[in-house]
Amino acid sequence: MTATLTTTRRSTGSIVGAGLAATAVAALATSTVAAAGSAAGISLDVSGAPIPVSGFAVLTVVFSLVGVALAAVLARRAHQPRSTFVRTTVVLTALSLVPDLVADATTDTRVLLMVTHLVAAAIVVPAVARRLPPARRD
């Protein structure tokens, strides 16, 4: 029992550590993409209000941490944590694109918003998934 608990704690710590590092990289990447888009002339206005570049980083951190928490729960509860996490995050990433598709913004802005979602997912999901076991040992 102690060995299982210790292994689970180490595994969870590894997931959280990798997730936090990936979250920081993703936040920097999404804000860089947004800044580059803005510099290229793409508006960051949605419904007439500008999204600050820092807002991309903040939202990336918030939703990435939700993903890290999800991974930690799946590591303890799912029979196949890695595949369950990847499938779930692919669906959630696809769903995150829906508001961008219907946003009151120019087409360029909508595409830029979707790209930032995909960039964040491309960084965080693999980094966290690599730390999850393919199958839980019970």
Tokens of residue 63, six digits: 């939703």
Residue 6's pLDDT is 42
Domain chopping of the chain, boundaries = 9-130
Between CA 30 and CA 116 the distance in angstroms is: 5
**Beta pairing partners, 50:** 45
Give me the residues of the chain with pLDDT under 50, please: 1-7
Q: What tens digit of pLDDT does each residue of 50-81 get?
A: 999 999 999 999 999 999 999 999 999 999 99
Beta strands in 12-104 (DSSP E): 45-46, 49-50
Between CA 38 and CA 31 the distance in angstroms is: 10
String of DSSP letters for 62-79: HHHHHHHHHHHHHHHH-S
Residue 13's pLDDT is 85
Residue 12's pLDDT is 80
Between CA 65 and CA 41 the distance in angstroms is: 31
45 with 102: CB under 8 angstroms? no
Residue 68's pLDDT is 98
Is the overall model pTM greater than 0.85, yes or no? yes
**Beta pairing partners, 49:** 46
